[in-house]
Amino acid sequence: MPLGVYLIVMFLTFVVTMGIATVIWFTTLRERTLVFPAWNEQLPVAAKRFIQDDLKCCGWFNATTAGLFDINELGTGFCANPDKLIPDPDPNVLIGCVDKLAGKVDFVLNTTFTSLYGFTGIELALFLTAACLANLRIQQKRFLRIDEKLRLNGKGGFV
């Protein structure tokens, strides 16, 4: 593959990686608004039960929010009896899953976009290395042509 094509592919890879990382970064700015519809409409009951048992929480905001917690569907495991759950000592903290789930989502998304941004640094270094090699090859070809021209004219070699 010619070096110019390699440079174009490297640059496009850099741009795509940077674009994906930026989209993920902007997604982290509105996690709660993106996760809520998934919890409310798309997530199966079995997955909600698993999340509640794993994170030790009940419902989205709490176990009493109408429409977001159904005792018949979700009242098993950790949330078997939401009235007997020990409340948090801080009265501002509810025992809902929104904070805990948003924290997990935040960790995954932050790790992902940080890794992608770090990888773009490696891609940029490879791109600059390839550009330097391309420049070096162009210079070598130029000096070889000059040397060949001098030899053909009988003036001796350039080197």
pLDDT in tens, 65-104: 655 566 666 667 777 766 666 666 665 555 778 888 888 8
Residue 157 falls inside a structural domain = no
| CA trace torsion 70, 71, 75, 79 (10° rounding) | 90
Helices and strands in the chain: count of H runs, count of E runs: 5, 0
CB distance 21 to 120 below 8 Å:
yes
158, part of any domain: no
Residue 122 in domain: yes
Angle of helix 98-152 relative to helix 45-55, nearest 10 degrees?
100
Residue 32 in this model has a pLDDT that exceeds 80:
yes
What is the model's pLDDT at position 75?
65
pTM value is 0.66
Spatial separation of the C-alpha atoms in residues 52 and 29, rounded to whole Å: 24
- Number of CB atoms found within 10 A of residue 77's CB: 13
Confidence of residue 157 (pLDDT cuts 50, 70, 90): low
Q: Provide, rounded to the nearest whole percent, the portion of the chain with pLDDT above 70.
A: 77
Q: Give me the domain span that covers residue 102.
A: 3-152
Residue 43 domain-assigned (yes or no)? yes
Q: How many domains does the chain have?
A: 1
